Amino acid sequence: MSNRLLWRDRYLNCVNDFKNSLLKSKIDACKEFFASLDKDSIWKKAYRSWKKPSIINQTLRTIQKDDPNASWTISSYDTASFLLGKFFPNLPNDLDSPIHNWYRSTSIIDNDPEISIREVNYAINIENDAKSPGWDSITANIIKNIHLLYPTFFNSLFNKCLLYGYFPKCWKKSIVKLIPKSNGNTYRSYRPISLLPVMGKIFEGIIARRLQFFLLSNKKLSGNQFGFIPQKSTEQALYRISNKIKAIFEKKSFAILVSLDITGAFDSARFDLILEQLRHFNIPPNLYAILFNYFCDRWVELPLIGTSAVKQCSGGCPQGGKISPLLWNILIDKLLKLPLPHNCHLQAYADDCLIFCEHPNADNCTWLVNNCLEIIYEWGLAHGLTFNPFQIGSYDYYQKRKFNIPSIFLNDQAIGLVPYIKILGLVVDSKLSWSHHIDYISSKATKIFNIIKRRFGSLWGLSFDVLRTIYLQAIEPMILYACPVWHKHDIH
């Protein structure tokens, strides 16, 4: 054998030994990692390791536009500018109209009282030290330490802001982080999260709690809104709609359920229309003034791979703001109070809307649904919101009787029926058998089990306590979600 072949064999043997040693080291390190976990550290270490969140702001270079040519952005700055234009569109914004100026200068009700030390203490203490700060890099921990040294400083500062109706501009600038929703190449594949300065979030939280207290104590908001309302939940929303469906079978009647999705709901909220609702609610003038200033001169910045794009916001509730959910509820409250035809019900969980119409006659029920959709569509046009029918299902006591397939239209576009609808994580079928929901949660639980199964063997891996913690806190809540609604297996 020549020296060349001898050295080649030695090289291949060394490479093979290296690969085996590398694989063994990885396996040993993995075993050691899982053996070190306990029930207190499982979420902080293992969950983050399995989820592996990608830092989109540091990797995204180009994205496909939604123009007819399906072209792509040509640089990181072009990508950032395009995304800001989509996530924060230019909306009509008539904040300087005479009615706004008149209301800020004239009011027949008293101002909200000064902010108390107790409110400030609570607002500061509930801030999470581990959350990412805003553009100023001031963390919640820094604010808490300053508050310990100067207990009255922030209270005086916030009261001055409330007195003069001024929300500092530096507290309103947000840094946008992109969260992937799917593996697509368009802007719809990402969700923008606004990172606001901690000081702004603290003050925003104080104003939000005061505004919420005023609205709820004076019963200003519709009872058909279940999202972002204290002592209300998705299960209550599901329970109400399931009871209405059950009543159909008892009445031997007919019903149609429509699930509506609002395109870019939070991003399409107009500031002037929210203020119009606040005037209608007759909120204290100092709260109105601070919210008016809160909407003015807002800026967002999207950093992408060494560059960034900046844009002024003319509308939209920032996803990440503490008051954003409440502002959305205020805007959509008018929709939930619209006069609808008899036997028609409209409810919402945040921006997920449900229309339920019933009638003994299938054709009349179809007419009711189309009438409701026309009313809602016209309201959306006037308020800059676009409704898309997500799913439509029908419910009939006599499953075998013949009737014309309902012809449902929204904006002159026909919409077909589906055998089951997924509402707030619950799959509702036409017979209320819940079989589709059982299949759905079984599939989700099996996926989690298969992921966990790869993390331990017969002699190594996650301990029993850790596995039990994962089951009790991740799998069991998923299986039992909304069980008061679907626990009874009645086939109609």
Report yes or no: 485 and 238 within 8 Å, Cβ to Cβ. yes
Residues 196-221 as b/e (b if ≥16 CB within 10 A, e otherwise) read: bbbbbbbbbbbbbbbbbebbeeeebb
Nearest to 62 by CA among 77, 80, 79: 79
Structure tokens at 247: 């009543």
Q: What is the dihedral of CA 417, 418, 423, 427, to 10 degrees?
A: 150
Report yes or no: 231 and 221 within 8 Å, Cβ to Cβ. no
Long-range contacts of 440-443 (CB under 8 A, 24+ apart): 441/478, 441/479, 441/481
Q: What is each CA distance from 101 to 96, 105, 164, 433, in whole angstroms?
A: 7, 6, 15, 56
Report yes or no: 177 and 134 within 8 Å, Cβ to Cβ. no
d(CA 237, CA 390): 17
Report yes or no: 61 and 289 within 8 Å, Cβ to Cβ. no
Angle at 231 between CA 479 and CA 199, to 5 degrees: 105
Say if residue 113 is exposed, middle or buried (CB neighbours under 10 Å; 0-12, 13-18, 19+).
exposed
**pTM of this prediction?**
0.86
Q: Which residues pair with 270 in a beta bridge?
A: none
Say if residue 90 is exposed, middle or buried (CB neighbours under 10 Å; 0-12, 13-18, 19+).
exposed
Look at residue 137 in the predicted model and tell me its pLDDT. 94
| Amino acid in position 389 | P
Residues 358-383 as b/e (b if ≥16 CB within 10 A, e otherwise) read: bbeebeebbbbbbebbebbbeebeeb
Report yes or no: 417 and 394 within 8 Å, Cβ to Cβ. yes
Order of all β-strands in the sheet with 254-262: 344-349, 352-359, 254-262, 387-396
Q: Which residues pair with 258 in a beta bridge?
A: 355, 392
The terminus-to-terminus CA distance of the chain in angstroms comes to 82
Nearest to 197 by CA among 123, 122, 143: 143
Look at residue 398 in the predicted model and tell me its pLDDT. 44
Look at residue 306 in the predicted model and tell me its pLDDT. 84
Look at residue 49 in the predicted model and tell me its pLDDT. 57
Structure tokens at 65: 């536009």
Mean pLDDT by 10 residues, the chain (492 residues): 80 91 83 72 62 65 80 90 92 71 65 96 95 94 97 97 96 92 82 94 98 97 95 94 89 88 88 93 94 94 92 88 95 96 95 92 91 95 85 56 73 82 90 90 89 69 78 89 83 52
Nearest to 332 by CA among 277, 389, 390, 259: 277
Residues 395-411 as b/e (b if ≥16 CB within 10 A, e otherwise) read: bbeeeeeeeeebebebe
Structure tokens at 225: 């809104």
Look at residue 59 in the predicted model and tell me its pLDDT. 76
Look at residue 397 in the predicted model and tell me its pLDDT. 46
